[in-house]
Amino acid sequence: MVSDMRVSIAPLPMRRILGLGVSLLSAAFIWLVLQQDVSAIESHQGETDEIISACLAHVAGLTLGAPLGFTRAKLRAGKPLTIAALGSSSTTGFGTFGSAAFPDVMQQELMRLEPGAQIKVINSGRAMENLTDNIARLDSDVLQFRPDLVIWQLGTNDVVWRGIASNSKKVLADSVRRIKATMADVILLDLQYAPLVLLTGRHTQMEAIIADVARQENVGLFPRFLLMKRAIDAGVSGLVSWDGLHNSARGSACVGIALAQMVNGAVRQPPK
């Protein structure tokens, strides 16, 4: 004798159904945005797309403002060059896929500009970190690799989420001196020009701190904020991600290519 078993399934409440629908639509929207970003990077690997090119048009006249003696010596001698990228989510390439983070794009462009060069990039980015968090990892995640060049993306989380500590300028300058003492060049990479960064007046304070330390310690400063502001003010769209904070893949590509070009320009200048 076979019993007649029926399973009763209670209907989902309408509110939950609507909630699931909104979540799926949100996920689909984010997926589509990220797929566009992936397409942008794939086009860069072949031919730079129009948005990236439009952004790069605003690099004119911008430089790192300091020599890169150790980097120049390694490249001119044909020796392997090690670059360590320290920073937060911008460094990790948050919101992009594959090799879309600016350190990866920079490496690709540098190898194009320096054919035959042996260039290794160590990505030591970690999401949500502020200046103090970065400094806590300096030995373990940067200096242990004995880099020839350290690119330090900093300040955004201090401005947007965490607040700027009163001793920020001093601890940044002290840390830059520690890196220089290991016979490595330093490039400080400042804030992104994005809606959430501009919400408070703290961005002007952090920009001043970064610029002052770069000038005081005679290290490079990559002016990401100014580059993006120039481009966006000129009508270039698509450089900021859907969250209003991070660079999109196109924004990261512009930063990575411009950074590589500035490094290459500094390396090609004769030493003083």
Residue 43 region, left (φ>0) first, then alpha (ψ -120 to 50), else beta? alpha
Sites in the chain below the pLDDT cut of 50? 1-10, 12, 14-47
pLDDT at 13: 53
Superfamily of domain 14-268: SGNH hydrolase (3.40.50.1110)
Alpha carbon distance 265, 6 (integer Å): 75
Tokens at 40, concatenated:
């942008």
Containing H/E element for 265?
helix 249-268
What pTM does this model have?
Answer: 0.84
Concatenate the DSSP letters of all residues of 54-79 into one string: HHHGGGTT---SS--HHHHHHHHTT-
Containing H/E element for 83?
strand 81-87
Angle between helices 168-180 and 202-217 (to 10 degrees): 30
